[in-house]
Structure 1
Amino acid sequence: MDEQPPPFFKRGPAPLALLSFYVALALALLVVDARFQTLEVLRQALSMFTHPVQSLAHLPAQFLDNARSYFASAARLQTESAELQRGRLEHAAMLQRSQHVEAENERLRKLLGVKERQQVSGQVARILYSARDPYARRVIVDKGQQDRVIAGQPVVDDIGIVGQVTRVFPFVAEVTLITDKEQAVPVQVVRTGMRSVVFGLGNGELELRFMPLNADIRSGDVLVTSGLDGIFPAGFPVAKVVHIASDTTYTFAQIRCAPVAGVEHFSEVMILDPRPPVALPEELAEEVAGKNAATSPKGTRAKKKRPKKD
């Protein structure tokens, strides 16, 4: 029986020979491919099979990159949105302030124009707040005794009469609006020249009282100050007639009016200087002075003679 060695002990070509063979084969393939491009078709065929595998291998890294870019973009967009929102609010506030300042400047120009139109003098004041009494129509302005404000001075805006100074403090003053129940203004109807007195009702309206039922008064008539009280200069708009009720059961007509000026709207007013006293004729002035001297206790006393100097 012929004995053969087990397969495990079979010996093939030497390792060095195999290495030399494969190195020579690789060099030959490199030279042939570089010179004749013979393996290009094989390379493209292999790439068709390896490309999906490469794409699948790059998916996790690509997913992480996309997720990182997404969150970075979202954070950047949120930051930009917050900045834009903040900028929009700032610009909106600036725009509102500029509009308010522009409107305030326009009202101040109109108030200053009152001096030229009506030939009066005064000083501009700002309304600080309303009086604490809920049943009164009074406001507090930022002018007081230090600004030489006295009780009784009329207060106007760029349209007409607003009220009258009733109380004065060192730094502020109280102005009673013409819509207050305790306020009355002598007026004159522009259309007919009829004179009367308008009273406040305390609810933002006025009432023209003591007008007969057959008085020539129409809705829309404008009432101006008559100047007979010696406080309000003549010719300032006061109110406009809005409703007339003629009831025969009453002696006088019930006439409701709306103030022309921004009585409860604007924040800037003008306090007019007090009206100068009316100059009387010389004869009448001497007669009044004589009566005052006669009735005065000091007028009955004899004047002491000063001793003459030697």
Structure 2
Amino acid sequence: MRHITVEPPPFFHRGPSPLARLAFFGLISLALLFADTRYRYLENIRQVAAVVLYPVVRAVELPGEALGFAGTYFSSLRQLASNNAELRTQLLAQAPAAQGYPLLEQENARLRALSKVEARFHGPATAAEVLYTGRDPFTQKVFVNKGEAAGVLPGQAVIDELGVVGQVTRVFPHMSEVTLLTDKDQAVPVKVERSGVRSVMYGAGTGRLPELRFLSPNAEIQQGDRLLTSGLDGTYPAGLAVAVVASVERETGQIFARVTCKPLAGVDSSGQLLILGQATAAPPRPEEPAEADAPRKGRGRRRG
């Protein structure tokens, strides 16, 4: 029986064996490497290839860079949101303290001014703070946090850094009642700083300015004059600022001039006050002289 040999068509011819091809291309690669390393023959070819293939390289790199940028961006957004929330929390926590700073500065300024006033006053003084106002809307009174335990006594003068505020009228163990100089039952002996004219300033009650009563129309006083304590009553030391003259009305036919005054002290606004100790007691007022004996009846008979 005869064997028939079938050969593959020409287009299926595979050429040299794979091992031969590997050896061939390996030798070519080694030769090119040696030539490039020794003589730099392929330097220009590499540069041209790099320029030609750069768009392809960038096209391959762009998706990765875009993903990295997006990740960094969203991570930064989350970090910024977290920082923003933390800063908001801190701001809300510090807002009350920040709003209180101006008040603290004003309070410190008033305390410094009070300390200067205390240094000028030759006598004991007690710093006090207003707790609350009186309940009666028709009286002008406040309560302070110093009382009998601090040595406060009824009748002591009360001032702030600008002038006279009022007078202690009642004392409790740990607080005191202060009647303001605008109260209708208060009277403060004063004198005009410019002319020395003496008078008494009376409170007029809620919503009204104090007045100088029983002042002659020709008294030397005018709008803008400062009024100081005269010290004649023994309660208020002499020379304390009290008020400024707001208006002077001299009407024809009136016996007295009508003078209104505006208190210099923060009567309705001061929170820190100074209670002045009792001034040196004035000697007692002399007794009024006894009335002259009535003429005796029938001192002598008329002679006829």
- TM-score, structure 1 normalization: 0.76
Q: Which residue of 2 aligns with 1:212?
A: 216
Distance 1:151 1:223 in 2: 24
Unaligned ranges ≥5, structure 2? 1-5, 290-304
Distance 1:276 1:46 in 2: 110
Aligned partners of 1:243 and 1:257 also within 8 Å: yes
Task: Check 1:97–1:190 CA distance in 2 against 1; reply closer, same or farther (3 A cut).
Answer: closer
Q: Which residue of 2 aligns with 1:20?
A: 23
Q: Which residue of 1 aligns with 2:232?
A: 228
Task: Check 1:134–1:73 CA distance in 2 against 1; reply closer, same or farther (3 A cut).
Answer: farther
Aligned partners of 1:123 and 1:270 also within 8 Å: yes
Distance 1:220 1:100 in 2: 27
Task: Check 1:73–1:98 CA distance in 2 against 1; reply closer, same or farther (3 A cut).
Answer: farther
SS of alignment partner, residue 65 of structure 2: helix
Count of residue pairs brought into register by the alignment: 279
Distance 2:198 2:103 in 1: 44
- TM-score, structure 2 normalization: 0.77
Shift of 1:164: 0.5
Distance 2:253 2:60 in 1: 104
1:1-310 residue pairs with structure 2 within 5 A?
5-7=8-10, 9-73=12-76, 79=83, 86=90, 96=102, 99-100=105-106, 102-115=108-121, 119-201=122-204, 202-203=206-207, 205-248=209-252, 250-280=254-284
More helix by proportion, 1 or 2?
1
Q: Which residue of 2 aligns with 1:306?
A: none
Distance 1:43 1:244 in 2: 107
Indicate the percent of aligned positions where both proteins have the same amino acid. 41
Distance 2:10 2:78 in 1: 69
**Bigger shift: residues 97-106 or 244-253:** 97-106
Aligned partners of 1:241 and 1:257 also within 8 Å: yes
SS of alignment partner, residue 210 of structure 1: strand
Shift of 1:173: 0.8
Aligned partners of 2:118 and 2:125 also within 8 Å: no
In the alignment, residue 47 of structure 2 is paired with which amino acid?
Answer: Q
1:8-56 CA distances to partner (integer Å, 9 max, x unpaired)? 6535222222221111111111111111111111111111121111112
Unaligned ranges ≥5, structure 1? 288-310
**Bigger shift: residues 239-248 or 164-173:** 239-248
In the alignment, residue 139 of structure 1 is paired with which amino acid?
Answer: V
Shift of 1:174: 1.3
1:162-211 CA distances to partner (integer Å, 9 max, x unpaired)? 10012222211111111222222122223333222212233373211222
SS of alignment partner, residue 110 of structure 1: helix
Detail structure 1 runs of 4+ shifted over 4 Å in the superposition.
Answer: 71-78, 80-87, 89-98
Q: Which residue of 2 aligns with 1:291?
A: none
Aligned partners of 2:142 and 2:178 also within 8 Å: yes
Aligned partners of 1:177 and 1:183 also within 8 Å: yes
In the alignment, residue 51 of structure 1 is paired with which amino acid?
Answer: Y
1:51-77 CA distances to partner (integer Å, 9 max, x unpaired)? 111112221222233334344555556
Distance 1:272 1:162 in 2: 11
Task: Check 1:61–1:84 CA distance in 2 against 1; reply closer, same or farther (3 A cut).
Answer: same
Task: Check 1:249–1:29 CA distance in 2 against 1; reply closer, same or farther (3 A cut).
Answer: same
Task: Check 1:58–1:101 CA distance in 2 against 1; reply closer, same or farther (3 A cut).
Answer: farther
Aligned partners of 1:111 and 1:269 also within 8 Å: no
Task: Check 1:81–1:106 CA distance in 2 against 1; reply closer, same or farther (3 A cut).
Answer: farther
